[in-house]
Chains A and B, each alone.
Chain A
Amino acid sequence: MAGMIQRIEMKGIVKRFPGVLACDRVDFDLCAGEVHALLGENGAGKSTLMKMLYGMYPIDEGAIFIDGVERRFRSPADALDAGIGMIHQHFMLVPTMTVAQNVALGQKSSKGFVLDLDRVTERICQLSADYGLKVNPHDLVGHLSVGEQQRVEIIKALSHGASVIILDEPTAVLTPQEVDDLFVVLRKMVHEGHGLVFISHKLHEVTALCDRITVLRDGRRMGTRPAAGVQRNELIKMMVGRELKALEHRGYTPGIERLSIRDLRASGDRGVETIAGINLAVQAGEILGIAGVSGNGQLELAECLIGVRKADSGNILLNGADVAGMSLNERISRGMAIIPEERMRDGAVNDFSVLENVFLHDHKDKAFRQGIFLDFKKMAVHAGKLVHDFAVKTPSLETPIKNLSGGNIQKLIMARELSRKPTVLIAAQPTRGVDIGASEYIHQRLLVQRDAGMAILLISEDLDELYELSDRIAVMYEGQIMGIFARQDTDIQTLGLLMAGIKPGDSPKAGSLIAACED
Chain B
Amino acid sequence: MTNIFSFEVLSGVLRTMIALSTPFLFAALGETFSQLSGVVNLGVDGIMLLAGFFAFYAVLLTGNVWLGLLLAMFIGLLMGLIMSLVSVTLKAQQGISGIGLQIFGLGMSSLLFKVLVGTVKTVSGFAPIKIPLLGDIPFFGPILFRNNFLVYAAFLLVPVSWWILEKTTLGLKIKAVGQNPAAADSVGINVNRIRYFSVCLGAILAGVAGAALSISVANLFQDNLTAGQGFIAVALVYFGGWSPIGVLGGALLFSFATSAQLWLQVLGIQVPASLAVMLPYILTIIVLTISVNRGKQPAALNKQFFRGEN
A71 and B213 alpha carbons, distance in the complex (Å): 54
Cβ–Cβ contact B179 & A95, under 8 A: yes
Instruction: Give the residues in chain A near B179, CB-CB below 8 Å.
Output: 94-97
Contacting B188 at CB < 8 Å: which of A75, A93, A113, A114?
A: A75
A115 contacts the other chain (CB 8 A)? yes
9 shortest A-B CB distances, which residue pairs? Answer: A77-B188, A106-B187, A92-B183, A92-B186, A94-B179, A94-B180, A76-B188, A80-B188, A94-B176
Contact of A105 with B by CB under 8 A: yes
State which residues 84-116 of A face B: CB under 8 Å.
Answer: 86, 88, 90-97, 101-102, 104-107, 109, 113-115
The answer to whether B186 and A94 have CB atoms under 8 Å apart is no
Q: How far is the CB of A499 from chain B (nearest CB, A)?
A: 26
Contacts of B182 in A (CB 8 A): 90, 92
C-beta contact mask, B182-197 vs A, less than 8 Å → 1, else 0? 1111111110000000
Task: Determine which of B169, B170, B172, B185 lies in contact with A76 in the assembled complex, contact meaning CB atoms within 8 Å.
Answer: B185
The one of B170, B180, B299 that contacts A92, using a Cβ cutoff of 8 Å: B180
Mark each residue of chain A from 245 to 273: 1 if its CB lies under 8 Å from any CB of chain B, else 0. 00000000000000000000000000000
Q: Are the CB atoms of A105 and B167 closer together than 8 Å?
A: no
Cβ–Cβ contact B308 & A51, under 8 A:
yes
Question: Is A131 an interface residue when CB atoms closer than 8 A count as contact?
Answer: no
Known contacts being A56-B308, A57-B308, is A105 close to B170, with CB within 8 Å? Answer: no
In addition to A92-B182, A114-B167, 7 A-B residue pairs with Cβ atoms within 8 Å of each other are: A77-B188, A81-B188, A88-B186, A91-B183, A94-B183, A96-B299, A106-B173
**Cβ contacts under 8 Å, B185 to chain A:** 56, 75-76
- Do residues A104 and B169 form an inter-chain contact, with CB atoms below 8 A? yes
- Partner-B contacts on A (CB < 8 A): 51, 54, 56-57, 75-78, 80-81, 86, 88, 90-97, 101-102, 104-107, 109, 113-115, 156, 160
Which residue of chain B lies nearest to A270 when distances are taken between CB atoms in the complex? B295
List chain B positions with a Cβ less than 8 A from chain A. 167-173, 175-176, 179-180, 182-190, 299, 307-308, 310
Bound-complex Cα distance A156 to B186 (A): 11
Question: Across the interface, do B170 and A113 meet the contact criterion of CB distance under 8 Å?
Answer: yes
Main secondary structure of the interface of B (DSSP, over half): helix
Q: Does A105 contact B190, Cβ atoms closer than 8 Å?
A: no
**A106 with B184: CB separation less than 8 A:** yes
- Separation in Å of the B65 CB from the closest CB of chain A? 31
Most buried by B among A75, A86, A94, A114: A94
Instruction: Give the distance in Å from the alpha carbon of A57 to the alpha carbon of B185 in the complex.
Output: 12
Q: How far is the CA of A102 from the CA of B186 in the complex (A)?
A: 12
A164 to chain B, nearest CB (A): 15
Q: Does B180 lie within 8 Å of A104, measured CB to CB?
A: no
Tell me how far the C-beta of A50 lies from the nearest C-beta in chain B, rounded to whole angstroms: 12
CB of A156 within 8 A of CB of B188, answer: no
Q: Is the CB of A114 within 8 A of B168?
A: yes
B168, A104: Cβ atoms closer than 8 Å: no
A54 to B186 CA separation, bound complex (whole angstroms):
9
The CB with the most chain B CB atoms within 10 A, among A57, A88, A95, A105, is that of: A105
Contact A75 B190 (CB under 8 A): yes
Q: Which residues of B contact A105 (CB under 8 A)?
A: 172-173, 176, 183-184, 187, 189
Cβ contact of B187, chosen from A57, A78, A95, A160, cutoff 8 A: A160
Residues of B within 8 A of A115 (CB): 167-169, 171-172
The reply to whether A92 and B169 contact each other, CB–CB distance below 8 Å, is no
CA distance in complex: A80, B187 (Å)? 7
Known: A76-B187, A106-B184. A113 touches B168 (CB 8 A): yes
Instruction: Report B-chain residues with C-beta under 8 Å of the C-beta of A96.
Output: 175, 179, 299
| Contact (A86, B186) CB under 8 Å given A57-B308, A97-B175 | yes
Total number of residue pairs linking A and B with CB closer than 8 Å: 81
Give the interface centre of B167, B176, B187, B189 by most chain A CB atoms within 10 Å. B187
A97 to B176 Cα, complex, angstroms:
8
Q: With the chains together, A81 CA to B187 CA distance in Å?
A: 10
By a CB distance below 8 angstroms, the chain A residues around B176 are 94, 97, 105
What CA separation (Å) do A105 and B188 show in the bound complex?
9
- Chain B, Cβ-Cβ closest to A75: B188
CB<8 Å pairs between A and B, sample of 6: A56-B186, A57-B307, A92-B187, A95-B299, A96-B179, A106-B189
Q: A77–B184 Cα gap in the complex (Å)?
A: 10
Query: What residues of chain A lie closer than 8 Å to B307, measured between beta carbons?
Result: 56-57
Give the complex CA separation of A107 and B190 in angstroms: 13
Q: Which residues of chain B are within 8 angstroms of A109 by Cβ–Cβ distance?
A: 169
Once the chains are docked, how many angstroms separate the CA of A160 from the CA of B187?
Answer: 9
Q: Which residues of A contact B175 (CB under 8 A)?
A: 94, 96-97
* A75 to B187 Cα, complex, angstroms: 9
CA distance A105 to B179 in the complex (A): 13
Complex Cα distance A95/B182, Å? 13
* Complex CA distance for A75 and B182, rounded to whole angstroms: 12
**Residues from chain B with Cβ under 8 Å of A101 in the complex:** 172
Task: Please give the distance in Å from B37's CB to the nearest CB on chain A.
Answer: 13
A92 to B308, CA, bound (A): 12
Contact partners of A56 in chain B: CB under 8 A: 185-186, 307-308
CA distance A464 to B182 in the complex (A): 32
**Whole-angstrom distance from the CB of B188 to the nearest CB of chain A?**
3
Complex CA gap A92/B167 in Å reads 22
Once bound together, how far apart are the Cα atoms of A105 and B182, in whole Å? 12
Query: Smallest CB–CB gap between A173 and chain B, Å?
Result: 15
- Most chain-A CB neighbours within 10 Å: which of B168, B175, B180? B180
Residues of A within 8 A of B169 (CB): 104, 109, 113-115
Q: How far is the CB of B235 from chain A (nearest CB, A)?
A: 22
Residue of B nearest to A86 (CB): B186
CA distance A102 to B180 in the complex (A): 11
The residues of B that contact A91 with a CB separation of less than 8 Å are 183
Bound form: Cα–Cα A88–B310 in Å? 11
Contacts of B187 in A (CB 8 A): 76, 80, 92, 105-107, 156, 160
A156 nearest CB neighbor, chain B only: B187
Residue of A nearest to B163 (CB): A114
**How far is A95 from B179 in the complex, measured between Cα atoms in Å?**
8
Q: Report B17 CB to chain A, min CB distance, Å.
A: 33
Residues of A contacting B172 in the complex (Cβ-Cβ under 8 angstroms): 97, 101, 104-105, 115
In the bound complex, CA of A123 to CA of B55 (Å): 50
**Contact yes or no, B180 A93, CB < 8 A:** yes
CB distance from A180 to the nearest CB of B (A): 27
Q: Shortest CB–CB separation between residue B116 and chain A, in angstroms?
A: 42
- Closest-CB distance, A197 to chain B (whole angstroms): 16
With both chains docked as a complex, state the minimum distance between the C-beta of A241 and any C-beta of chain B, in angstroms: 27
Inter-chain CA distance A90–B310, complex, in Å, is 8
Alpha-carbon gap, A414 to B310, bound state (A): 27
Distance in angstroms from A484 CB to nearest chain B CB is 36
Contacts of A94 in B (CB 8 A): 175-176, 179-180, 183-184
Bound state CA distance, A114 and B310, in angstroms? 31
